[in-house]
Amino acid sequence: MSAIARSRAATTVRRGSSLARKQAVEGYLCILPWLVGFVCFTLGPMVGALALSFTEYDIITPPDFTGLANLQRVFKDPLFYQSLGNTAYISLLSVPLQQMLALSLAMALNEKLKGIAIYRTIFYLPSQMPLVAAALLWLWIFNPDFGLANALLDKVGLPTLKWLFDVNLVKPSIVLITLWGGIGTPMIVFLAGLQGVPESLYEAAAIDGAGAWQRFRNVTVPMISPVIFFNLIIGVIASFQAYFTLVYTTTQGGPANASLIYIIYLFFKAFKDFEMGYASALAWLLFLVVLALTGIQFYFARRWVHYEGGAR
Positions 237 through 266 that interact with other proteins (CB under 8 A):
237, 240-241, 244-245, 248-249, 263, 266
Nearest to 262 by CA among 67, 80, 104, 48: 80
Binder among 65, 81, 140, 307 for other proteins (CB under 8 A)? 140
Q: Which of residues 39-68 bind other proteins (CB under 8 A)?
A: 40-46, 48-49, 52, 59
Contact track, other proteins, 83-102, x by CB under 8 A: --------------------
CB of 38 to other proteins, least distance (A): 6
Q: Which H/E stretch holds residue 107?
A: helix 78-109
CB of 132 to other proteins, least distance (A): 5
Q: How far is the C-alpha of 22 from the C-alpha of 219, rounded, in Å?
A: 51
Q: Which is nearer to other proteins, 42 or 168 (CB)?
A: 42
Q: How far is the C-alpha of 158 from the C-alpha of 149, rounded, in Å?
A: 11
Q: Which of residues 193-212 bind other proteins (CB under 8 A)?
A: 193, 196
Q: How far is the C-alpha of 124 from the C-alpha of 170, rounded, in Å?
A: 25
Q: Is 38 in the site for other proteins (CB under 8 A)?
A: yes
Contact between residue 181 and residue 129 where contact means Cβ atoms under 8 Å apart: yes
CB of 121 to other proteins, least distance (A): 8
Binder among 10, 291, 292, 296 for other proteins (CB under 8 A)? 291
Q: Angle 262-271/243-250 helices, nearest 10 degrees?
A: 70
Contact between residue 250 and residue 138 where contact means Cβ atoms under 8 Å apart: yes
Q: Which is nearer to other proteins, 35 or 168 (CB)?
A: 35
Count the neighbouring beta carbons within 10 Å of the beta carbon of residue 16: 10
CB of 269 to other proteins, least distance (A): 10
CB of 256 to other proteins, least distance (A): 20
- φ, ψ of residue 261 in degrees (nearest 5): -85, 165
